[in-house]
Amino acid sequence: MPESPLYYPTGLHHTLARTQRCDEETLDLINFVRDLTQAVMDLEDASTADAPHGEKFGPKATSRIYTELEVQALHRKKRRTIDQIVALEARDDPIYEAIRLCALLYATAIHCKMPLSTTARSFPSRIVLQIRDNLLRTDMSNCWDSMVGILFWCTIVTGAACNTADDEDIEVLATKKWMVALAIRSSILLIFQHTDAVVRMLRTILVVQKMLRGSMGEAEI
């Protein structure tokens, strides 16, 4: 099961919990991003009167009507998980660091309600290059094996963050091409055995992106 912050049909990351390269701290980090994504999805559902029924993003099976108290609780959950992600410290583990930096970028974009590319430019250091450098330190011969869903999420987030790079920023433009190629490679591994999972992951990230860009701007993904 290609679990990721965008796809967790059982509600928990059972496959990742059994993965040797995904230690307890990495799993906690992924769970924070999962909770943040679910809060965003629920808030989007609550704010959309004509939300489609029957789509399953993570453990949520149907759209529903939310009370004001439930909406307030979702906002608190979103703020809490953002704070948890921002508070995480760096580790000398390239897999953890790549995921942590992607999570930091993702959480900051959600907090500020800004596109990922705009958010990336707000960091004092070029965060997309830091993510790339950590990914390059990992073994990607089989796209992280049972963590391929996580790698796919990382490439989607980072690729979108490179979207509006200046034509003269050759390094970021090269990073975007590399991320797109890695996303395609990961998706090829996923699509033959887990087509439904890939479709649901893409639908989920598109809903998150819609929230980030509001009614303005073109799609980044």
Cβ neighbours for 35, distance < 8 A, ≥ 6 positions apart: 77, 81
Distances (CA, A) of 8 to 37, 84, 88, 131, 201: 11, 20, 23, 24, 9
The 10s digit of each residue's pLDDT in 50-68 is: 445 444 445 454 567 889 9
Any domain includes 5: no
User: Maximum CA pair distance of the chain?
Assistant: 49
The 10s digit of each residue's pLDDT in 86-139 is: 999 999 999 999 999 999 999 999 999 999 999 999 998 899 999 999 999 999
160/220 Cα distance (integer angstroms) = 5
**pTM score, two decimals?**
0.88
Any domain includes 50: yes
Any domain includes 2: no
Any domain includes 221: no
Any domain includes 153: yes
Any domain includes 159: yes
Any domain includes 3: no
Residue 108's domain spans which residues?
14-213
Mean pLDDT score of the chain, rounded to an integer? 88
Domains held by the chain: number = 1
153/6 Cα distance (integer angstroms) = 7
29/27 Cα distance (integer angstroms) = 5
Any domain includes 137: yes
